[in-house]
Amino acid sequence: MHKILSSTPLAPGVREYLVSAPAVARTAAAGQFVVVRLHEAGERIPLTIVESDPSAGTIVLIVQDVGKTTHEMDAIGRCGGALLDVAGPLGNPTEIDRYGTVVCVGGGLGIAPLFPIVKELASAGNRTIGILGARSQDHLFYVDRFQEVLDETIITTDDGSLGLKGFTSDALLDVLQSQDRIDRVWVIGPPIMMKACAETTRPFGVKTLASLNPLMLDGTGMCGGCRVEVGGQVRFACVDGPEFDAHLVDFDRLISRLRYYRDEETASLKRFCSGSALTGGADTR
């Protein structure tokens, strides 16, 4: 069992969990994730490792309460419970190097997995520009932590309640047009937002990496549930990713696959919490 040491609210429906997972914490790197199972009858869900502390044997997970399992995890965390399985670290770590000037774009919950990447890129000596977007000011989190490591921080909100009014892709275009040189871009968030950002960087020829979040079961490449199409070839996000060249990803197919089990997900949540409906995420293009 993996004890939930703390559960802290960050934004509406979003909580930060500090979890005891010594084996994972010892080797976790930026860009990797774990597959969590709450109990024997629970489903497996992939969650990005936001931070790890090898000396304390802990990892940080940030989770949005959108379905039956995440709703149940919220209840377990509030009462100081434990997770049955925390398998990982899984996936390929982000390739950290001194690229020059990099732009890191996070939309909605994608802000969470972006944070460890930004920290490592900054530590490697890159000039880092961050674009953080959400539907409103209330849905933003970790802004102060990003500002501690970024050279420049740009905030966007759909409603204009903080920073620039508009989508992250709008701010990304402004950066690309105003900077002499951008060497690499990372983008993490809702698929529609990543697609918009990829199309924004394409004319500039800047290598752009997207961290994909397809349906996933075992996290080892055996089930095939997390298959995505990249450059016309089938790849598995759990073992080939989760980061891929955003200019080669078939985002339309990814978005379609994410909708496959929407009715079943909604029904499962309704059964668990007596009628609560599954709500959609923010469009932070």
Q: How many domains does the chain have?
A: 2
85 shares its domain with 105: no
Task: Please state the rounded mean pLDDT for residues 136-156.
Answer: 95
204 shares its domain with 228: yes
145 shares its domain with 32: no
Q: What is the pTM of this model?
A: 0.88
Q: Which domain holds residue 237?
A: 101-258
| 265 lies in some domain | no
Report phi then psi at 14, rounded to 5: -125, 130
Q: What is the pLDDT of residue 279?
A: 37
Tens of pLDDT along 109-130? 999 999 999 999 999 999 999 9
Bridge partners, residue 4, by sequence: 19
Tens of pLDDT along 223-266? 777 888 999 999 988 888 899 999 999 988 888 876 655 665 66
CATH number at residue 247: 3.40.50.80
Report the alpha-carbon distance of residue 196 to residue 201 in Å, rounded. Answer: 9
Look at 160-164, 220-224, 241-245 and tell me which has the smallest mean pLDDT: 220-224
14 shares its domain with 79: yes
Task: Please state the rounded mean pLDDT for residues 131-158.
Answer: 95
- Beta-carbon contacts of 283 under 8 Å, excluding residues fewer than 6 positions away, are 135, 158, 167, 190, 192, 193
Structure tokens at 184: 């690499």
Across all residues in the chain, what is the average pLDDT?
A: 88
pLDDT at 276 over 90: no
Q: Identity (one letter) of the amino acid at 132? A: L
- Given a contact cutoff of 8 angstroms between Cβ atoms, the answer to whether 146 and 115 are in contact is yes
Q: Identity (one letter) of the amino acid at 55? A: S
